[in-house]
């Protein structure tokens, strides 16, 4: 049974990587969504080494086929951005669910992974929160430095504050230990 479980998990991770291999954004030398998924898996393994299989699959599938819905297809401004993110989350949850079903995961495990991808239970469900902490750490570690110069200082401060608010207390403490942030940003993680 154990070998079958590992094969199911490996199948799902490989299927997500295969789907993400079609991302046209190759700005870092490989498909961006595929690289993001691999970084998410690495951070999850580091931060939550005993993560459940649904959490491992959700982390890898966090941005599955993200390029299929373009931001410019939604209205400008924060409301349009949030609508885009909501539709993307639904797409990610659907695609990950399809892959898990193909790998013979039961409905309960599929629902768990989908719940995490939809962020249903943030601050109330330990696995949803764990995924969010991994998302935030991955953003700070790999994407914040190139992203920061593209934003005006006030907007960047709001983004950092929102990132900190989404994290658990333990996640914020870890950020303060692992990252050298300017004091104005670090203050958000102490709150």
- Mean per-residue pLDDT pooled into runs of 10, the chain (191 residues): 70 98 95 98 98 98 96 94 95 98 98 98 96 98 94 95 97 96 95 76
What is the per-residue pLDDT for 1? Answer: 40
Number of alpha carbons in the 13 Å side-chain half-sphere of residue 156: 16
Rg (CA), the chain: 17
Count Cβ atoms within 10 A of the Cβ of residue 150 and give its class: 0-12 exposed, 13-18 middle, 19 or more buried. exposed
Q: What are the two backbone dihedrals, phi and then psi, of residue 105, each rounded to the nearest 5 degrees?
A: -75, 150
Crossing angle between the packed helical segments 53-61 and 32-47, to the nearest 10 degrees: 150
Nearest Cα neighbor of 129 from 175, 185, 89, 170 is 170
d(CA 126, CA 47): 13
The pTM (predicted TM-score) of the whole model is 0.93
Q: Which two tokens stand for residue 184?
A: 């104005």
Going by the DSSP 8-state scheme, the letter that residue 49 receives in this structure is T
pLDDT attached to residue 29: 94
- Do 39 and 138 form a contact (C-beta atoms < 8 A)? yes
- pLDDT tens by residue, 114-152: 999 999 999 999 999 999 999 999 999 999 999 999 999
**Smallest Cα–Cα separation from 96: which of 173, 185, 17, 157?**
17
If phi over 0 gives left and psi between -120 and 50 gives alpha, with beta otherwise, what is residue 152?
beta
SS3 readout for 50-66: CCCHHHHHHHHHCCCCH
| Ramachandran class of 132: left when φ > 0, alpha when ψ lies in -120 to 50, beta otherwise | alpha
């Amino acid at each position: 049974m154990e070998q079958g479980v590992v094969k199911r998990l490996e199948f799902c991770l490989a299927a997500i990587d295969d789907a993400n291999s079609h991302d046209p954004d190759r700005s870092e030398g490989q498909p961006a969504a595929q690289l993001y998924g691999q970084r998410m898996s690495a951070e999850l393994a580091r931060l939550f080494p005993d993560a459940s299989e649904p959490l491992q699959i959700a982390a890898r599938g966090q941005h599955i086929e993200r390029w299929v819905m373009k931001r410019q297809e939604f209205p400008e401004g924060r409301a349009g951005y949030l609508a885009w993110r909501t539709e993307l989350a639904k797409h990610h949850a659907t695609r990950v669910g399809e892959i898990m079903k193909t790998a013979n995961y039961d409905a309960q495990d599929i629902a768990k992974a989908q719940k995490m991808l939809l962020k249903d239970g943030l601050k109330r469900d330990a696995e949803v929160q764990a995924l969010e902490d991994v998302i935030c750490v991955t953003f700070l570690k790999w994407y914040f430095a190139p992203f920061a110069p593209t934003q005006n200082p006030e907007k960047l401060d709001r983004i950092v504050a929102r990132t900190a608010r989404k994290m658990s207390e333990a996640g914020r403490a870890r950020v303060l230990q692992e990252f050298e942030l300017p004091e104005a940003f670090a203050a958000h993680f102490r709150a």
